[in-house]
Structure 1
Amino acid sequence: MNGSDVRILAAGSALPGGPVGNDALARRFGMDASWQQWIDVFIGTKSRHLAVDLDTGEVRTTLAELGAEAARRALEAAGVRPRDVDLVVMATATPDQLMPATVNMVAERLGVDGVPTYQLQSGCTGAVAALDVGAQLLRAGGKPATALVLGGDVCAKHFDVHMDLRGLPPDELVNVVLFGDGAGAAVLTTEPVDDAAVLHHVINRLTGLGREPGQVVEWFGQADRERGPALREDYKAIERLVPEMSVEILKELLDTMGWSGTHVDYLLPPQLSGTMTDRIVADLGLTTAEEVSCVAEIANVGNAAPFVQLERLLPEMVAGDRAIGIAVESSKWIKAGFAVGKR
């Protein structure tokens, strides 16, 4: 076994509160049945978990709390104590505060200290970037070590339960139903653990030169703004480009690994929405691979999604299994993906 191998020992996730169905959203915002039907058909997401109380607008859960819970579950599943973590990397587009960094508040809750910590500001591909950074730092360390890698997002700043949705344009309205809140974590190591999945290869590449952003998120939130829209999506561009980019990512991963499509046992596709994910899976054409998805149940949870997928994948993998994960970020069009296998 290669001494520079980075292994994924375990993954864990955390979601706030119980599931919030489309019917509950429709009731809260006074929307008619046609709106709920639009969600079901156009978005394809059935429920989500929210850090905000849907009745009062009170923020009940922070990203640091969710991150710490996800990390505890991953560490417990990996059989690793917090004091044995050598570095922490976290990706998020929605930190609790600008400072202190949310990664350090997660470390505080875990009792982790005296180690390097890194926080990456990124959208949906941030989780893959965090895996990449964690793996590269482990390899560069020159001795066996363990990294805690996290991703998560909480959209409370942008979820105004008192807003009148009836006049919103589609590029703002879609965000009310598209996203959920959550956090995920994985434990990486260069320790020689024979039965752990190996992180073979990671893609993390900006491809946005000359392309208009597909998503813009301002520093102020929808729930506290008087300065115009805080969050908007060019959903038509996302519908057009994300499936194309997903196919390109898959091809690059297969070419790099020397795999054919029939070599892939599991597919972790982008988790944008239920409808969009179904379309991407069809375009990828990996008919023999088992899909690992969560978006229909918990919505688009941003940087938490790949870790939720890994949490479901890892216990299912046996020797010889191979998996491909794909993520696309529309903010400035980033391609990301990874290949995982068990020897």
Structure 2
Amino acid sequence: MTAAVHIAATGTALPGDPVDNTALGAMLGVGKEWIDLFVGTRTRHFGWDPVTGEVRGSLADLCAEAAAQAVRASGLDLADIEFLVLATATPDTLLPTTATDVADRLGLDHLPVYQLQAGCSGAVQALDLGRSLVLGGRRAGLIIGGDVTHRFLSPRRDAARIPTEELVNYVLFGDGAGAAVLTDEPEGERIAVRAVLNSWTGRGRAPGQLIDWYGTTDRDSDRPMLAEDYKAIEEQVPPIAAEILWELLGGLGWGLDDVGFLLPPQLSERMTARIVERLPAGAAQQISCVADTGNTGNALPFLQLDRLLPRFSVGERALGLCVESSRWIRAGFALEKV
């Protein structure tokens, strides 16, 4: 077995109280049943007040909370952290980066700080970069992922005037952040990262998701900030997820029966269920969080890891799968408790 990087601990942060479908439906002027039927997600968390629209927390707030929790749980000191990598599609500002803001809040200084602009595959990209840094000689570091909805959903927008194709995004997404401490030797939870897959496969393919931004000359435009091709996502994510699974297994020489836990792509509860139905997952137990958190983008794999850890025993193995539909990125990882 090649040299392994280890996950020592995880931490997560979700803002405010969970917003259930009854409350969200009342806010948007739609029935709870429509939300249940379309996405199947029960609750989500927002960093903005669903009643007043007031934004109550930033991405940096959530990421710093999750990162501090991960460091505490790892048994390491902040002085042991030698790098920080943060992945997000919704930074607080373009500059300074949210990553540097988080490092400052944690009291970190004089260390490499990276920010990756990515969708839900960004958490795996952060793991890939973090693993390379540890294998390159760093003893320990932080990887973080998170996203916030007020960057592309307007809390103050008149719900009655939102087109249905945009209204879906208000019930699909939520806010959140997660983090993990990587180490060169087994520490804390002692989870070996056996493989990481990070591969763009979007050449010649139309994007499945677009998150836009306004500049000084088009800030009055009424074009949607978030657009999703749900038909393309529904058709393409399941086979891509299967490709990731087989590629990870093949590279490691593992069989389906060697994997005890599966962390499938988290799009919505309904879509995740469809993906799992089409995966040759053997007897692996599914670790899912999207029904309770909504689609939190880069936070999702960390939220899944947080649920996996209490159930993960020595010798057991897990696979995580992630498909970013923005331009079709395949991502995944393989873990083993040592």
TM-score range with shorter-chain normalisation?
over 0.9
- Which residue does the alignment assign to 1:184? 178
Q: Superposition RMSD on alpha carbons, in Å?
A: 1.7
1:225 CA drift (Å): 5.2
Contact 1:52 1:159 in 2 (8 A): no
- Which residue does the alignment assign to 1:72? 68
1:341 CA drift (Å): 0.5
Of 46, 52, 57 in structure 2, the residue corresponding to residue 56 of structure 1 is: 52
- Which residue does the alignment assign to 1:330? 325
Q: Which amino acid aligns with 1:313?
A: L
Cα distance in 2 between the residues matched to 1:119 and 1:171: 31
Instruction: Write out per-residue CA displacement over residues 270-319 of structure 1, whole angstroms, 9 at most, x where no aligned residue.
Output: 11000011111111132411111100001001000100111111232112
1:324 CA drift (Å): 0.2
For the residue of structure 2 that corresponds to 1:340, the secondary structure is strand
Cα distance in 2 between the residues matched to 1:284 and 1:111: 43
Contact 1:146 1:188 in 2 (8 A): yes
Unaligned runs of 5+ in 2: none
Cα distance in 2 between the residues matched to 1:216 and 1:105: 26
Tell me if 1:27 matches 2:26.
yes
For the residue of structure 1 that corresponds to 2:278, the secondary structure is helix
Q: Which amino acid aligns with 1:272?
A: L
For the residue of structure 1 that corresponds to 2:231, the secondary structure is helix
Cα distance in 2 between the residues matched to 1:195 and 1:109: 25
- Which residue does the alignment assign to 1:16? 15
Q: Which amino acid aligns with 2:224?
A: P
Q: 1:45 to 1:260 in 2, by over 3 A?
A: same
1:296-315 mapped onto 2 (5 Å cutoff)? 296-315=291-310
Q: Which amino acid aligns with 2:292?
A: E
- Which residue does the alignment assign to 2:124? 128
| Structure 1: 4+ residue segments shifted above 6 A | none
Q: Which amino acid aligns with 1:81?
A: D
Structure 1 length normalisation: TM-score?
Answer: 0.94
Q: Which amino acid aligns with 1:64?
A: A
Cα distance in 2 between the residues matched to 1:298 and 1:330: 19
1:1-343 mapped onto 2 (5 Å cutoff)? 4-31=3-30, 33=31, 36-141=32-137, 145-193=139-187, 196-220=190-214, 226-343=221-338
Cα distance in 1 between the residues matched to 2:98 and 2:189: 32
Percent of pairs identical after alignment?
52
For the residue of structure 2 that corresponds to 1:284, the secondary structure is coil
Contact 1:215 1:231 in 2 (8 A): yes
Unaligned runs of 5+ in 1: none
Cα distance in 1 between the residues matched to 2:245 and 2:281: 10
Length, aligned pairs only: 335
Q: Which amino acid aligns with 2:256?
A: G
Cα distance in 2 between the residues matched to 1:192 and 1:237: 41
Q: Which amino acid aligns with 1:74?
A: A
Contact 1:129 1:204 in 2 (8 A): yes
Cα distance in 2 between the residues matched to 1:95 and 1:84: 26
Q: Which amino acid aligns with 1:323?
A: A
Cα distance in 2 between the residues matched to 1:290 and 1:191: 27
Contact 1:171 1:234 in 2 (8 A): no
1:28 CA drift (Å): 1.2
Q: Which amino acid aligns with 1:76?
A: R
For the residue of structure 2 that corresponds to 1:271, the secondary structure is coil
Instruction: Write out per-residue CA displacement over residues 30-59 of structure 1, whole angstroms, 9 at most, x where no aligned residue.
Output: 22x2xx212101211011000011111111
